[in-house]
């Protein structure tokens, strides 16, 4: 049985300077209540690893606006002009990583692999400073794992032991990041009794989840 905590309590667990893996794709499948609580707390100097920084006023975009971030590792920041401005002004360091490489680097950290070999990025700027490994005559880039101090996960449903089920395109990076955070905080839409989520539907086993956010007061 997990103990369910409030968003503000979850935010207090996260020290300034931490590296956060945050689920979501343009704000879809992001843990919005957790993000709001981190903004409210006035967190500083965070590194966020995420697919993108959404847009101003939405999801991870709120952390950008509030000045909580010193570094972003993402595949795309094109729809958030604030991230681009802060990158140009030097306030936020931005490391751009191809989307498929990003998810596999996070996965590598979560599943005990020393890195991945990918053809993506060969012959491009992404290859700069990286080792190329030849396997059976084909070249691959060696890409290193990306672990997080915390993984902030949005899920459709959780049960009392923390098993998670996801919805449609709100899966995205969430099930992978749940493997790679030293501490995993999950924000489900709803929490249901044990047994309601079929074992076949569980995408993230509850043993990976350290904290569950309590149900939203309005139950939505």
Partner 1 sequence: MEAKEIIARRVAQEIEPDTLVNLGIGLPSMVANYLPKEVHVFFQAENGVIGLGARPPEGMEDPDLTDAGGGFVTAVPGAASIDSAMSFGLIRGGHLDMTVLGGLQIDERGYLANWMIPGKMVPGMGGAMDLVAGAKHVVVAMVHTAKGKPKILKECNLPLTAQRRVSLIVTEMAVIEPTEAGLVLKETGPDASVDDVISATEASLIVQGDVPKMRL
Cα 34 from Cα 23, distance rounded (Å): 11
Identified binder of partner 1 from the candidate list 20, 159, 171, 211, rule CB under 8 A: 171
92 is a contact residue toward partner 1 (CB under 8 A): no
187 is a contact residue toward partner 1 (CB under 8 A): no
Question: Are 27 and 48 within 8 A, CB to CB?
Answer: no
What's the token pair of residue 49?
């690893």
159 is a contact residue toward partner 1 (CB under 8 A): no
Cβ distance to partner 1 smaller for residue 11 or 65: 65
Could you give phi then psi for residue 100, rounded to 5 degrees? -70, -30
Q: What angle do CA 107, 108, 111 make, to 5 degrees?
A: 80
Q: In whole angstroms, how close is the CB of 14 to partner 1 at the nearest point?
A: 23
Q: In whole angstroms, how close is the CB of 29 to partner 1 at the nearest point?
A: 7
For residues 3, 14, 102, 161, the Cα torsion angle rounded to the nearest 10 degrees is: 0
153 is a contact residue toward partner 1 (CB under 8 A): no
x-or-dash pattern for partner 1, window 14-53, by CB under 8 A?
-----------xxxxx---------------------xx-
């Amino acid at each position: 049985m997990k103990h369910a905590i409030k968003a503000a309590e979850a935010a207090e667990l996260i020290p300034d300077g931490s590296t956060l893996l945050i689920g979501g794709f343009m704000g879809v499948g992001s843990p919005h209540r957790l993000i709001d609580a981190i903004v409210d707390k006035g967190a500083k100097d965070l590194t966020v690893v995420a697919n993108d920084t959404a847009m101003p006023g939405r999801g991870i975009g709120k952390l950008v606006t509030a000045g909580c971030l010193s570094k972003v590792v993402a595949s795309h920041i094109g729809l958030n002009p604030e991230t681009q401005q802060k990158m140009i002004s030097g306030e936020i360091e931005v490391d751009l990583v191809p989307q498929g490489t990003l998810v596999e680097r996070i996965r590598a950290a979560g599943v005990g692999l020393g890195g991945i070999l990918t053809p993506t990025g060969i012959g491009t700027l992404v290859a700069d400073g990286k080792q190329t490994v030849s396997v059976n005559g084909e070249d691959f880039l060696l890409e290193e794992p990306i672990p997080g101090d915390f993984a902030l996960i949005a899920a459709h449903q959780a049960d009392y032991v923390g098993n998670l089920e996801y919805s449609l395109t709100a899966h995205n990076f969430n099930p992978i990041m749940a493997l790679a955070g030293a501490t995993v905080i999950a924000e489900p839409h709803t929490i249901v009794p044990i047994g309601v989520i079929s074992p076949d539907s569980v995408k993230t086993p509850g043993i990976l989840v350290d904290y569950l956010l309590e149900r939203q007061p309005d139950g939505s």
